[in-house]
Chains A and B, each alone.
Chain A
Amino acid sequence: MGGNPYQPLPVRIERVTVENEARDLKSFDLRFVNQGERERWQFLPGQFAFLSIAGVGEAPFGIASAPDEELLKFTVKRVGAFTTALHEMEEGAIIGLRGPFGSAYPWTLMQGRDVLIVSGGFSFTTLRAVIVHILKKENRPNYGRLVVVYGARTPGELLYKEELRAWKTNPELELVLCADRVCGGELFGFEGANQGEGKDAVQEGLVPEILKGVKIEADKAVALVCGPPIMLRFTHPVLKEMGFKPEQVFLSLENRMKCGIGKCGHCNIGPKYVCKDGPVFCYEELLRLPEDY
């Protein structure tokens, strides 16, 4: 990532997939236009990058693809001027990409341990990268159990539905899906959705509630948590009850970012910059920082 850290590299949109029923979440699979760039672009799940469109704007997004997947995947919610312009882009269009920025999840600490993933809403992007990375044949033996608790407002809002269905039948991980409202809505192939019995069911309930039903030995595990502030506030006490100490819980934070290299000042939490010292923070470190996020 030498040269000018603000310089975007051209990438082509190979595939656009609409991820949710509300159609305001789309995944973009990107390929570098220039040869050799992909090899130089090494990253670990948890890091993020800036997508940009000339003359329109730039914004940071978590990298949703695993390190050795050919295409880089980003899932973008249509919120503002830039994301609306990006959502109007067809396959084949060229946009700008710069990065990778920030710290990844604590891969060394996770070696040999169980991994509990707790995610809510569309922040599941970088955690998808973690799951795909762990499920790779060469990597799977390095980790113990892989337990994933992932919830959204309705089944229609769950991201990466085909992969979720595949993971439901994959013995290498235990996937627990939930939604605030399940009955009466479209089930998107998660038929067995009765009140939580079937393995492929989407249970009805909030992520922190569903998390209570998970059995895991905390001292052998690491928890990766990512979701809206409201979910985090109710998840931490549950993790504590399950025996997780703050040093074992890692969070990926969202902040306003404009540079990605700790200069523009927008993403500061006390003396730390989320883009340079994060976005993944150990919960124990966050407790020492001011309540400014």
Chain B
Amino acid sequence: MKVFLKNEDLKKLLARFVQEGRLFAPVRRCGYSGWDRVSSVDEVVLSREQAILQGEEVNTREPAKIFVFPRSETLFEFEGEEAVETGEIPELVVFGLRPCDGRAMAFLERFFVGNGPEDPRVRQRREKVTLIGVACNSPADSCFCTAVGGGPHENKGLDVLLREVAGGFLGEAVTSKGEELLTGFPEATAQQDAEAEKLKANAEATLALKIDLNRLKAALDNGFASPIWERLTLECVNCGACTFLCPTCHCFDVFDETVRGRKRRSRIWDSCQFTLYSQHASGHNPRLNPAARYRNRVMDKFKYTVDMLGEVSCVGCGRCVRVCPAGIDIRVAVAEILKEAAQDGR
């Protein structure tokens, strides 16, 4: 089902959600864009391509995962010893996330809900959010979604994918929720469809990096004890920026606190880069050495989730490359791992 929405049609559609106070979209804030509740539809930047020309980053700094796995959420408030679930999960509409974030949402849903015991909060949040993605026509130099099996116009994990063409957007419904949203709009013409395909081809052309994921998995399978990790991680300061802003990082800590007599248990983001992340109660810490922690992150993205779920959990959004204070680029790390594995004949 492919439809065409003129800019005003899209604006009217979004305005309906704004009235209901349900729309979240990228809003420009001090040098980058972040997610925020939209109070008036004029705040929404419809044409991201124009914004990018004016120096806006291709993607929001904070990933769209915050809508299914927020930075921190209260799990329970305690009345006496009774743990009461709190926080009514609102119905939200998210406009403007990119295909890489869409693919990450699919991964998170599969990890939290479709893999062993189910996490009820993530399931509810995903059910109650409608994801309207916008395809990338001009990816950034730090993006590499095609290298890890994604693409600038991919619609996996989204409810609706919009592809910016002349005068409006080509709308593609992915789920039933998406179809509901796009009913009543005119069918897209073959000419508009061709234009979108051309834009997609151009975008893919700029994403030149190729990663042989199978060879990388093989290299990592027996690259655990390789000296490369020490060399790769001298610059790493073990902060949590790359993991917190990674759309597929799912680690969390459970934190109990008493605030003026009110007891609550919350879930907050945690990072395998922090020292205390794997510290046992006995004081033993298997990953005290910073290189072991960076190894754990690269292994998790390109090996452990392949062993667990059969798919790489890096979507190539490039955020970790853009935000690393030490300038570490995971693509360079991957290339060196492959090169070293080739030399050792592994």
Chain A interface residues (CB < 8 Å from chain B): 1, 3-8, 10, 33, 52-59, 77, 79-80, 83, 94-96, 228-229, 254-256, 258-259, 261-266, 268, 270-271, 276, 290-293
Contact = CB atoms under 8 A, between A and B. Distances in A.
Contacts of A256: 277-281
B166 to A, nearest CB: 45
A264 B278 CA distance: 11
Given A254-B282, A264-B270, A271-B303, A54 B85 contact: no
B216 to A, nearest CB: 15
A5 B117 contact: yes
B84 to A, nearest CB: 10
Contacts of A263: 111-112, 117, 119, 250, 252
Contacts of A59: 281
Interface stretch (B11-19, B93-101, B193-201, B253-261): B253-261
B300 to A, nearest CB: 8
Contact of B286 (A7, A58, A292): A292
Interface string B60-92: 000000000000000110101111010000000
A265 B251 contact: yes
B127 to A, nearest CB: 15
Given A58-B254, A292-B287, A271 B304 contact: yes
Contacts of A1: 117
A164 to B, nearest CB: 23
Q: How large is the interface on B (under 10, 10 to 19, 20 to 34, 35 or more residues)?
A: 35 or more
A96 B83 contact: yes
A37 B336 CA distance: 55
Contacts of A259: 252, 254
Contacts of A270: 224, 299, 304, 307
Nearest to A8: B83
Contact of B284 (A8, A10, A229): A229
Contact of B265 (A3, A58, A265): A58
Contacts of A5: 117-120
Contact of B256 (A3, A54, A79): A54
Given A95-B81, A265-B270, A56 B256 contact: yes
B81 A79 contact: no
B272 interface: yes
Interface string B271-305: 01000011111101011000010001001100111
Most buried by A among B83, B121, B300: B83
Nearest to A53: B256
Contacts of A276: 116-117
A256 B276 CA distance: 9
Contact of A55 (B121, B257, B277): B257
B263 interface: yes
A94 to B, nearest CB: 4
B82 A10 contact: yes
B81 A271 contact: no
Nearest to A9: B83
Given A256-B277, A265-B251, A270-B304, A6 B256 contact: no
A135 B229 CA distance: 50
Contacts of B116: 261-262, 276
Contacts of B48: none
Contacts of B299: 270
The 6 closest A-B pairs by CB, nearest first: A55-B263, A265-B251, A271-B307, A55-B258, A54-B78, A261-B117
Nearest to B272: A265
A111 to B, nearest CB: 27
B264 interface: yes
Given A59-B281, A94-B81, A6 B75 contact: yes
27 contacts: A3-B120, A4-B121, A5-B120, A6-B75, A6-B254, A10-B81, A54-B81, A54-B256, A55-B256, A55-B264, A58-B256, A96-B81, A96-B83, A228-B282, A256-B277, A256-B280, A258-B270, A261-B119, A262-B115, A263-B119, A263-B252, A266-B270, A270-B304, A271-B305, A276-B116, A292-B224, A292-B296
Given A77-B281, A276-B116, 6 more contacts: A6-B265, A8-B83, A261-B116, A263-B117, A263-B250, A276-B117
A7 B76 CA distance: 8
B326 to A, nearest CB: 23
Contacts of B253: 258, 264, 266
B1 interface: no
